[in-house]
Structure 1
Amino acid sequence: MTTNPPLISHPVVTRDRWLAQRKALLAQEKELTRQRDRVASERRALPWVKLEQDYVFDTPQGPRRLSELFQGKRQLLVQHFMLGPGWEQGCKSCSFMADHLDSIAIHLAQRDIAWLAVSRAPLAEIQRFRERMGWKFDWVSSHGNDFNRDFHVSFSPEETARGEVFYNFHMTPLSQQEAPGISCFWRDDDGQVFHTYSTFGRGVEVMMGAYSLIDLTPKGRDEQDMSYGMEWVRHHDRYGDAAAPATGCGCA
């Protein structure tokens, strides 16, 4: 009788030795938690920017201004979802992010937070992909406005041809015309909208709750490059499909 070899060659120790090393790691984890809390406090203290333009989006309910998309909440989180005009499907990494949304929307609402995705593709193309993926969250099109360009997640062919674009608050090597991000907005009682925060690149991992659990396991993410990883990710209806591409958008 044969047995399969272990997937990972790894030290095996007594429980006492494991506990000693685990407690040392716990001290680092606690410090990371405290540091995360400090950063979150500084994030909330950032000044805001008043938007001079109330962008108009195409929605299933017709044209709607940004100020009309808060669903009665004061706070709005936007996923800058990579789905450009004419694309066959949305970015697989952005789709991995979006897979987390429907289950947490009710909890966000309890914290006075509305959520939606924005893409530059026309609304009909968004709706087609949304139906395929079975998502319920709000998703609107910025095809007719400059929202994506103003928030530096969509780039012209001329910009990408230069080899660098302004992304993640600095000039970044990027060849693709769409990039991921998350932005937060506040709407006051007069309907004025303020931009409060944006994060890009690996900052979008805040949406990827599955990663927090994956990071607990022995294999972890098993990604070759932590800057441009996610080689293993597929659209959730393409796992097991040998023809599904392993490459795709990553986060800088």
Structure 2
Amino acid sequence: MNKWREVLLDPNVHFPGESSEYRRARNELLEAEAELRRQNEQVAAQRRALPAGGLIREDYVFESAADGSKVRFSELFAPGRNSLVIYNMMFPRWSEDQRAGAPGGKTAELPLVDQPCPSCTSVVDGLDGAAFHLAERINLVVIAKTSPDRLGAYAQERGWRNLRLLSSRNNTFNRDYHAEAPDGGQLPVLNVFSRGEDGIYHHWTSEMTFKRGDTSSLDPVWVIYGALDLTREGRGDSAAYPNLQY
């Protein structure tokens, strides 16, 4: 890696046609970006160093979207991989979400209120592409409250082939780990669990969602906003974005 670092290092980078004003401003921004990176690394280290959270309260039983078979929580850990990342997608969507529904297939036949959240769909689109690589290091699962048949049909329609998709319709996992509101509405939440010699512990949840009242805590797994943040236009109004139809 030291050789690769030598390839990358260049303190005198300039680009065609740039003004001295641009270069000064860009260098100031570069310092801010470097400081942000240091802070990100510090926060990541704090996250890794968290003491063990609570032991899971029960060996939850899920239903596989692939074939409807029963899957226990403890079975989500493959040999040699002791971290489990779970994304709870909103399927069904928020009852007041009026964004367009699925463009076709069996999912489009459902009432809009029973269809999946477009934002969660965007997150899972990205996770499916990364799942092949992540499987070398961690266990990754997507959970939804809908039936396994509906979840499996939607996975086929979206082309999700690499993810393990599970229905939680018959257990309390979503409610226990804050992926379900008191009224039963579903919430988009990331949970991480760690397996040790004496059991499975909760490690981390995207709690910033509840502190800020937005979904920015999903940014680490939501690539579209990372791309938009690089542009002059930025994120803009995300109230009706992303969508299932454009």
TM-score (norm 1): 0.73
Alignment counterpart, residue 150 of structure 1, candidates 173, 176, 185: 176
Query: Secondary structure of the residue that 2:203 maps to in structure 1?
Result: strand
AA in 2 matched with 1:52: R
Distance (Å, rounded) in 2 between the aligned partners of 1:194 and 1:26: 39
AA in 2 matched with 1:107: H
Query: Secondary structure of the residue that 1:153 maps to in structure 2?
Result: coil
The residue aligned with 1:68 is: 75
Number of residue pairs matched by the alignment: 200
Distance (Å, rounded) in 2 between the aligned partners of 1:116 and 1:208: 15
Q: Verify the 8 A CA contact 1:89 1:129 in the aligned structure 2.
A: no
Distance (Å, rounded) in 2 between the aligned partners of 1:39 and 1:131: 37
Instruction: Give a deviation string over 1:57-108, Cα, whole Å, max 9, x none.
Output: 0113511111101233211110011113975421111111111112211321
Alignment counterpart, residue 195 of structure 1, candidates 195, 202, 210: 202
The answer as to 2:37 corresponding to 1:33 is yes
The residue aligned with 1:217 is: 231
AA in 1 matched with 2:186: E
Cα RMSD between the aligned structures?
2.0
Distance (Å, rounded) in 1 between the aligned partners of 2:136 and 2:50: 23
Distance (Å, rounded) in 2 between the aligned partners of 1:79 and 1:29: 28
AA in 1 matched with 2:56: L
Q: Which runs of 4+ in 1 moved over 4 A?
A: none
Distance (Å, rounded) in 2 between the aligned partners of 1:29 and 1:230: 27
Give the number of the structure whose residues are more often strand, by fraction. 1
Q: Highest relative contact order (Cα 8 Å, sep 6+), 1 or 2?
A: 2
The residue aligned with 2:191 is: 183
Structure 2 unaligned residues grouped into runs of 5+: 1-16, 94-109, 210-214
CA 1:147/1:20 → structure 2, altered by over 3 Å: closer, same or farther? Answer: same
The answer as to 2:58 corresponding to 1:53 is yes
Give the number of the structure whose residues are more often helix, by fraction. 2
Give the drift of 1:110: 2.6
Structure 1 unaligned residues grouped into runs of 5+: 1-12, 160-176, 224-228, 240-252
The residue aligned with 1:110 is: 136
Distance (Å, rounded) in 2 between the aligned partners of 1:222 and 1:179: 22
The residue aligned with 1:226 is: none
- Give % identity: 31
Query: Secondary structure of the residue that 1:99 maps to in structure 2?
Result: helix
